[in-house]
Structure 1
Amino acid sequence: MADRVIAAHWSDADLAVLAGGVGPDGRRLPASGWMALRRLGWGAVAPAGVVVSDRVRRIAEEEAARALRLGCHRRAVVAALLATWPADPSARTSEEWSALRAALPEGADSATIRNRTRQIRAYLDGCGRLPAGLCEVEGPPVVARQVSLAAADRQQVVVDRIDDRRVRVWSQLPVCASPASYRDWVWHAVEVVLPPTVPAGVKVCSPTLRPRDGEVRVDLPWQTPHTPPPLHGHRRALGVDWGVNTLLTATVADLDQDGVVVDGRPLRFDATGVSAKLVRLRRHREHLRTKVEHLTRLADGRPAHADPALTGKLARLEVEHEAVCARIRHLNKALAWSAARWLLDHATAHQASVIYVEDLATLETRGRSRSLNRRLSGAVRGTVFTAIAHLAAKRGITVVTVPARGTSSGCPRCGAALRHVNAPDRNVAGYRWATCTCGLTLDRDHAASQRITARGLTNQTKTRRDRNGRAAIRTATDTPVRRPARRPAPAATGPARERRKTAPTPKQTRPTGAKTSPLLPLRRQVPAPTHPPPGSAGKRPAGRTPQATNPSGPVRQVPHTVSTTPRHPHQVRGAVLGRGFHRHVHATPITHGTTAQARCPDHEDQTGNQRRSRS
Structure 2
Amino acid sequence: MVAAARLGWTPRYPDGVYAPSRVTRVVTAQAVATLRTLTYRDTAIASLSARFDSETGRLSAPSGAAEYVPSGFARGVRRQLLARTRQIDGADSGAAQSARVRITDVQTPPRTSAMARLSAADRQLAHITVTDAAMTLTVTLPTTVAPTGRAQWRRVRLAAAIPRHLHGRPIREWHLPTLDVDHRGLLLRCAATEAVPAADVTSGTTVVGVDWSPSTLGVAAVATETPDGLVSDYRGFTYDDRGLGIKLARLQAEGQLLHRKAARLRRLAATAPPEVRAQLEAKIAVLDGYREAVGAKRGMINRELAFHFGRQLTDLAAAAGASVIAVEDLTTLETRGHGRVNNNRAAQSARRKAVDALTHTAAGVGVTVVSVPARGSSALCPGCNEPLIRPGGYHRAWCARCKVGGHRDHVAGVNLAKRALLGRGQSVRKRGENPRIRVIEHAPVRQCRDKKSPTPSRPRHRRVRRSAPAATPRVGVNQTRIVPAPQASVWDTVKPATPQRVTGSREVHTSLTPATPVVGSMRSM
Fold similarity call, TM over 0.5? yes
The one-letter amino acid of 2:10's match is A
In the TM superposition, what whole-angstrom CA distance separates every residue of 1:141-195 from its partner, at most 9, and x where no partner exists?
Answer: 666532111211121112123x421112121123445433223323222211111
Mapped to 1, the partners of 2:212 and 2:81 lie a distance apart of 34
Mapped to 1, the partners of 2:77 and 2:261 lie a distance apart of 32
Q: Which residue of 2 aligns with 1:159?
A: 128
Q: Which residue of 1 aligns with 2:425?
A: 461
Q: Which residue of 2 aligns with 1:507?
A: none
Mapped to 1, the partners of 2:290 and 2:32 lie a distance apart of 39
Question: What is the CA distance between 1:446 and its match in structure 2?
Answer: 0.8
Are the counterparts in 1 of residues 220 and 237 from structure 2 also a CA contact under 8 Å?
A: yes
Mapped to 2, the partners of 1:360 and 1:291 lie a distance apart of 32
Mapped to 1, the partners of 2:301 and 2:199 lie a distance apart of 31
The one-letter amino acid of 1:479's match is A
Question: What is the CA distance between 1:419 and its match in structure 2?
Answer: 2.6
Q: Which residue of 1 aligns with 2:513?
A: none
The one-letter amino acid of 2:385's match is G
Mapped to 2, the partners of 1:190 and 1:198 lie a distance apart of 19
Q: What's the TM-score, normalizing by structure 1?
A: 0.59
> What SS does structure 2 have at the residue aligned with 1:420?
coil
> What SS does structure 1 have at the residue aligned with 2:203?
coil
Moved more, 58-67 or 68-77: 68-77
**Alignment of 1:249 onto 2:219:** yes
Q: Which residue of 1 aligns with 2:445?
A: 481
> What SS does structure 2 have at the residue aligned with 1:464?
coil
Taking a change above 3 Å as real, the CA distance of residues 250 and 134 of structure 1, as seen in their structure-2 partners, is same
**Alignment of 1:119 onto 2:52:** no
> What SS does structure 2 have at the residue aligned with 1:450?
helix
> What SS does structure 2 have at the residue aligned with 1:395?
coil
Match of 2:187 among 200, 217, 220: 217
Taking a change above 3 Å as real, the CA distance of residues 521 and 91 of structure 1, as seen in their structure-2 partners, is closer
Question: What is the CA distance between 1:381 and its match in structure 2?
Answer: 0.9
> What SS does structure 2 have at the residue aligned with 1:63?
helix
Q: Which residue of 1 aligns with 2:508?
A: none
The one-letter amino acid of 2:223's match is A
Q: What's the TM-score, normalizing by structure 2?
A: 0.69
Question: What is the CA distance between 1:457 and its match in structure 2?
Answer: 1.1
**Alignment of 1:442 onto 2:411:** no
> What SS does structure 1 have at the residue aligned with 2:164?
coil
Mapped to 1, the partners of 2:464 and 2:408 lie a distance apart of 42
Match of 1:60 among 27, 30, 38: 27
Taking a change above 3 Å as real, the CA distance of residues 137 and 257 of structure 1, as seen in their structure-2 partners, is farther
The one-letter amino acid of 1:375's match is R
The one-letter amino acid of 1:434's match is A
Are the counterparts in 2 of residues 171 and 188 from structure 1 also a CA contact under 8 Å?
A: yes
Q: Which residue of 2 aligns with 1:471?
A: 435
Question: What is the CA distance between 1:415 and its match in structure 2?
Answer: 1.3
Mapped to 2, the partners of 1:396 and 1:41 lie a distance apart of 46
Taking a change above 3 Å as real, the CA distance of residues 58 and 213 of structure 1, as seen in their structure-2 partners, is same
Question: What is the CA distance between 1:384 and its match in structure 2?
Answer: 0.9
Mapped to 2, the partners of 1:486 and 1:261 lie a distance apart of 10
**Alignment of 1:406 onto 2:376:** yes
Q: Which residue of 2 aligns with 1:355?
A: 325
Match of 2:160 among 192, 204, 219: 192
Structure 2 residues without counterparts, runs of 5 or longer: 86-92, 452-459, 466-525
Question: What is the CA distance between 1:120 and its match in structure 2?
Answer: 7.0
Q: Which residue of 2 aligns with 1:433?
A: 396
Taking a change above 3 Å as real, the CA distance of residues 221 and 79 of structure 1, as seen in their structure-2 partners, is same
**Alignment of 1:338 onto 2:305:** no
In the TM superposition, what whole-angstrom CA distance separates every residue of 1:378-417 from its partner, at most 9, and x where no partner exists?
Answer: 3111121111011112222111111111112222211112
Mapped to 2, the partners of 1:236 and 1:472 lie a distance apart of 17
Q: Which residue of 2 aligns with 1:182?
A: 150
In the TM superposition, what whole-angstrom CA distance separates every residue of 1:273-299 from its partner, at most 9, and x where no partner exists?
Answer: 443343334444555666777899799
Question: What is the CA distance between 1:70 and its match in structure 2?
Answer: 4.7
Mapped to 2, the partners of 1:81 and 1:69 lie a distance apart of 19
> What SS does structure 2 have at the residue aligned with 1:465?
coil
Taking a change above 3 Å as real, the CA distance of residues 155 and 199 of structure 1, as seen in their structure-2 partners, is same
Mapped to 1, the partners of 2:144 and 2:26 lie a distance apart of 19
Are the counterparts in 2 of residues 358 and 403 from structure 1 also a CA contact under 8 Å?
A: yes
**Alignment of 1:170 onto 2:128:** no
The one-letter amino acid of 1:115's match is F
> What SS does structure 2 have at the residue aligned with 1:357?
strand
Match of 1:234 among 204, 213, 236: 204
The one-letter amino acid of 1:223's match is T
> What SS does structure 2 have at the residue aligned with 1:419?
coil
Are the counterparts in 2 of residues 59 and 147 from structure 1 also a CA contact under 8 Å?
A: yes
Taking a change above 3 Å as real, the CA distance of residues 234 and 76 of structure 1, as seen in their structure-2 partners, is farther
Taking a change above 3 Å as real, the CA distance of residues 42 and 255 of structure 1, as seen in their structure-2 partners, is farther
Aligned residue pairs: how many? 438
Are the counterparts in 2 of residues 245 and 272 from structure 1 also a CA contact under 8 Å?
A: no
Q: Which residue of 2 aligns with 1:9?
A: none
1:248-267 equivalences under 5 Å are 248-267=218-237
Q: Which residue of 1 aligns with 2:470?
A: none
The one-letter amino acid of 2:33's match is R
Are the counterparts in 2 of residues 81 and 117 from structure 1 also a CA contact under 8 Å?
A: no
Are the counterparts in 2 of residues 77 and 113 from structure 1 also a CA contact under 8 Å?
A: no
Mapped to 2, the partners of 1:291 and 1:74 lie a distance apart of 28
Taking a change above 3 Å as real, the CA distance of residues 133 and 273 of structure 1, as seen in their structure-2 partners, is closer
Mapped to 2, the partners of 1:324 and 1:84 lie a distance apart of 36
Are the counterparts in 2 of residues 123 and 129 from structure 1 also a CA contact under 8 Å?
A: no
Mapped to 2, the partners of 1:450 and 1:381 lie a distance apart of 19
Mapped to 2, the partners of 1:318 and 1:72 lie a distance apart of 27
> What SS does structure 1 have at the residue aligned with 2:304?
helix
Q: Which residue of 2 aligns with 1:205?
A: 175
Mapped to 2, the partners of 1:73 and 1:276 lie a distance apart of 36
Taking a change above 3 Å as real, the CA distance of residues 74 and 198 of structure 1, as seen in their structure-2 partners, is same
The one-letter amino acid of 1:198's match is L
The one-letter amino acid of 1:467's match is R
Structure 1 residues without counterparts, runs of 5 or longer: 1-33, 424-429, 488-516, 523-615
In the TM superposition, what whole-angstrom CA distance separates every residue of 1:298-343 from its partner, at most 9, and x where no partner exists?
Answer: 9995599x99xx9999999887766655444333322222111000
Moved more, 42-51 or 461-470: 42-51
Taking a change above 3 Å as real, the CA distance of residues 301 and 188 of structure 1, as seen in their structure-2 partners, is farther
Q: Which residue of 2 aligns with 1:47?
A: 13
Match of 1:386 among 347, 356, 365: 356
The one-letter amino acid of 1:61's match is T
Q: Which residue of 2 aligns with 1:567?
A: none
Taking a change above 3 Å as real, the CA distance of residues 74 and 181 of structure 1, as seen in their structure-2 partners, is same
Q: Which residue of 1 aligns with 2:115?
A: 146
The one-letter amino acid of 1:146's match is M
The one-letter amino acid of 1:44's match is T
Mapped to 2, the partners of 1:386 and 1:67 lie a distance apart of 23
Taking a change above 3 Å as real, the CA distance of residues 339 and 88 of structure 1, as seen in their structure-2 partners, is same
Mapped to 2, the partners of 1:478 and 1:300 lie a distance apart of 68
Question: What is the CA distance between 1:271 and its match in structure 2?
Answer: 3.5
Taking a change above 3 Å as real, the CA distance of residues 326 and 44 of structure 1, as seen in their structure-2 partners, is closer
> What SS does structure 2 have at the residue aligned with 1:160?
strand
Mapped to 2, the partners of 1:301 and 1:337 lie a distance apart of 50
Taking a change above 3 Å as real, the CA distance of residues 258 and 65 of structure 1, as seen in their structure-2 partners, is farther
Taking a change above 3 Å as real, the CA distance of residues 115 and 295 of structure 1, as seen in their structure-2 partners, is closer
